[in-house]
Amino acid sequence: MAGRSRVVVHACRICGAAVSDPIGVCVLGSTGTIGENTLDVLARHPQRFRVVALGARRDHAKLFAQCQRFRPDYAALVEPEAAGHLEQALRTAGVPTRVLVGEGALDTLAALPEAPYVMAGIVGAAGLASSLAAARAGKRLMIANKEPLVMAGPMLIEAARSGGATLLPIDSEHNAIFQCWPAGARTGEAPKGVRRILLTASGGPFVDWTAEQIAAATPEQACKHPKWVMGRKISVDSATLMNKGLELIEARILFGLETAQVEVVVHRQSLVHSLVEYVDGSMLAQLSSPDMRTPIAYALGWPERLESGVQSLDLARAGLLQFEPPDTGRFPCLALARQASMAGGAAPAILNAANEVAVAAFLEGRLNFSGIPAVIEAVMNQAAGSASDLDSVLAADARARVAAQHLIDSGRFGASGRRAS
């Protein structure tokens, strides 16, 4: 994951000492949890960073407040009506931020030369194109959204290499692995001496539930994560353990490992964020309070360390640290993800697409909780496609979405009956 950040150094006009201009940062998905935490860390280092661009899908009210505070040069919203509201509000407030509109607007922000750092926090497949744009433009690409790597990991790795980009993972688990990784290792290539990595999982809100209780779970229950404050989609993924399955695929690609070298352990305390085992028997782990500002600050400052605002971890107070194997009988999504990882090709993209459709249906009350893995498995069994280029990946993604929607509309898997607020 070697690479260089771009810092403009010049001499102070008064004393002649070397000083540096703030590094420009683009935050995609700024209105989500990752985006808000990124802006919190950036605000702690105003001399080091400058917010150049903010992008989101539809939350014009929150984006307006962020523009008022950080005064970026650019802001983008995918939905035209929301962008119109934002532009009107900015004009009324006298904020000179330029507003861009549409799917391509996020790609434009990701490639801005004045923002060498890009935080990729757009949830779902929608974040793929902008992540590729940032990689091709040679940015420090901080990847918080799993889907680009899951759908088109080899293409993203190749785009980063050819464009001279630096890929830094933001997921707490992958960031932990990176912190325990040998210095100088390249993205997508396993360094010598690594035996395996262990991704930790909190277990989600249903870790102690029976299979019968899990099958009857409501969207409200699935969205109540015991440790992390997250968006609705990723909260449901955590409840099904699909989140960990997607991370397994992501880790295999990011770190150049075989699927068998990536294991998952349930760690309810969420203090050990992942571990790396070396061939000599050494096992390195990264520990911190469960706060996303730690990996965000690490990626922004790397190879240095920055103050993040995260509370120090009190190990004596934390007490016992527990680890246990996941139960793929109650949580079959993890096994489905491992199956897709081993199959390779378009299988991960198909898995991801079916999951996105199924989770959306569950949150809307049109699918019961146990229907999520059932729909995914059925789609994986009937959908096919290659992953030779971006068009073929997107085509496989589209076919999987149609197949998943058809299965849900058939009513075979029941409805959850309640919609998450």
397 — phi, psi (to 5°)?
-60, -45
CA distances in angstroms from 227 to 238, 239, 272, listed in the order given? 11, 12, 13
Q: Above 60 in pLDDT, residue 14?
A: no
Q: What is the pLDDT of residue 272?
A: 97
Nearest CA to 141 out of 254, 310, 289 is that of 254
224 — phi, psi (to 5°)?
-95, 80
Please tell me the distance from the alpha carbon of residue 271 to that of residue 315, in angstroms, as a whole number: 9
Q: What is the pLDDT of residue 230?
A: 77
Q: pTM above the 0.95 mark?
A: no
Please tell me the distance from the alpha carbon of residue 233 to that of residue 353, in angstroms, as a whole number: 13
Pairing of β 18-20 and β 194-201 = unpaired
The residue ranges of every structural domain in the chain are 9-170, 194-409
> Which range has the worst mean pLDDT, 85-99, 140-154, 365-379?
140-154
171-199 pLDDT, tens digit each: 999 999 999 999 888 888 888 999 999 99
276-293 pLDDT, tens digit each: 999 999 999 999 998 999
Give Cα 326 distance to the centre of its chain: 22
Cβ within 8 Å of residue 45, ≥6 positions away: 300, 306, 307
Cis peptide before 303 (omega within 30 of 0): yes
Q: What is the DSSP letter of 78?
A: S
Q: How many CB atoms lie within 10 A of CB 45?
A: 17
Place of tokens 């999520």: 372
Place of tokens 């059925």: 378
- Average pLDDT estimate for 158-179: 95
CA distances in angstroms from 198 to 65, 230, 281, 393, listed in the order given? 40, 22, 14, 28
Q: Above 80 in pLDDT, residue 396?
A: yes
Q: What six digits make up the tokens of 410?
A: 């058939």
Please tell me the distance from the alpha carbon of residue 170 to that of residue 205, in angstroms, as a whole number: 22
Please tell me the distance from the alpha carbon of residue 254 to that of residue 249, in angstroms, as a whole number: 9
Domain 9-170: give its CATH code.
Answer: 3.40.50.720
24-50 pLDDT, tens digit each: 999 999 999 999 999 999 999 999 999
> Which CATH number, 1.10.8.100, 1.10.1740.10, 3.40.309.10, 3.30.360.10, labels domain 194-409?
1.10.1740.10
Q: Above 50 in pLDDT, residue 4?
A: no
Q: How many CB atoms lie within 10 A of CB 68?
A: 14
Q: What percent of the chain has pLDDT over 70?
A: 94
Q: What is the pLDDT of residue 1?
A: 56
Nearest CA to 179 out of 289, 310, 305 is that of 305
- Average pLDDT estimate for 326-332: 96
